[in-house]
Amino acid sequence: MKYSTIIIGSGPAGYTAALYTGRAGMKPLMIDGGIGRGQELLGAGGQLMITTEVENYPGFVHGIQGPELMQIMREQALRFDVEVVEDIANQVDMSQRPFKVWVGDASYESDTLIIATGASAKWIGLPEEKPAHEGGLGGKGVSACATCDGFFFRGREVAVVGGGDTAMEEAVYLTNHASKVTVIHRRDTLRASKIMQKRAMDNQKIHFVWDSVVERIHDPAEGCVTALTLRNLKSGATSVLPVQGLFVAIGHKPNTDLFRGQLDLDETGYIVTHHDVRTSVCGVFACGDVQDSEYRQAISAAGSGCMAAIQAERFLEAEKAGDTSVHGSW
């Protein structure tokens, strides 16, 4: 089956692209990411599924819970003749048009592609972060999502690694459950916005360990987190911090492995775009966090999803009218 466009991903960028292409009568196919597969693949709805209060998405005077916002976006988009495959795309061929996208053994063809695969949390790189079935403590006290796992740490002491907005947000959220939250940061100042810094620093339950990294997570042999070995990067001294949970909040990796070698990525793996949402391959557009390492907000992701949809529609209209300059100007 051939589609005018296939949208890969269903965060704010993907749903907005679906809404616009659907309303434009393009009958898009959206591959939505399916059921979340834990730490690295968040599944349908994307990153806001692991968020509580969203206060900065226009239109919601008193804010809205992340999963509720994504459910509304989905329902709104699916009103307009959008076909959905509830799974992940595992292979893409952009070498010629029509483009081909595989979901397992099934393949789909399209005249344009809209990539909206977002980003995933980064890990420190310690062996103990791996999932329990691989001998680590992932899911057994090590997490990258306070909203998902904070509940399990009621009355306990936990640590958060990171110094950005996400780390502060996670730390503040965790104080709803944990008795003490220690933020471990490799520098002596935070990267987080002033308002988030203030919120964390004003919170009596949050403590800071500066210039330090986590060197070891104890204790895989016990099957749970009991303590962290920290190393001070200035003095080289090590210390042990007793905690029952570790939340890693050190940033995100764009979900672009699927496209590597087929379109231009920057040195950190983000899709390079020009004219806002055009990728290096004619007919392929990218929107949201997968091409935006700077703003990484729901509203900017949704805005670029709108741009990708409009550009895809105009591109196809121009081709239909025999206007080949659309290829030359790419």
Task: Show which residues are catalytic.
Answer: 145, 148-149
Q: Which two tokens stand for residue 82?
A: 């959008």
Q: Which is nearer to ligand FAD, 34 or 98 (CB)?
A: 34
Does 161 help bind ligand FAD (rule: CB under 6 A)?
A: no
Does 115 help bind ligand FAD (rule: CB under 6 A)?
A: no
Among 47, 143, 273, 279, binds ligand FAD (CB under 6 A): 47
Residues 226-285 that bind ligand FAD (CB under 6 A): 255, 258
CB atoms within 10 A of CB 136: 17
Position 186: which residue type? R
Alpha helices in 202-297 (DSSP H): none
Does 5 help bind ligand FAD (rule: CB under 6 A)?
A: no
Reported for 235-241, long-range contacts at CB under 8 A and 24+ positions apart, including other chains, are: 241/159, 241/182, 241/184, 241/209
Does 138 help bind ligand FAD (rule: CB under 6 A)?
A: no
Site stretch for ligand FAD (CB under 6 A), options 176-184, 240-248, 295-303, 317-325: 295-303
Alpha helices in 193-245 (DSSP H): 194-201
Tell me the site size for ligand FAD, rule CB under 6 A. Answer: 40
Does 118 help bind ligand FAD (rule: CB under 6 A)?
A: yes
Q: Which is nearer to ligand FAD, 108 or 315 (CB)?
A: 108
Give the CA radius of gyration of the chain: 21
CB contact at 8 A, 111 and 4: yes
DSSP-derived 3-state class of residue 310? helix
* Upper half-sphere CA count for residue 193 (Cβ side, 13 Å): 6
Residues near ligand FAD, by CB under 6 A: 8-14, 31, 33, 41-48, 50-51, 54, 56-57, 88-89, 116-119, 166, 169, 255, 258, 288-290, 296-299, 301
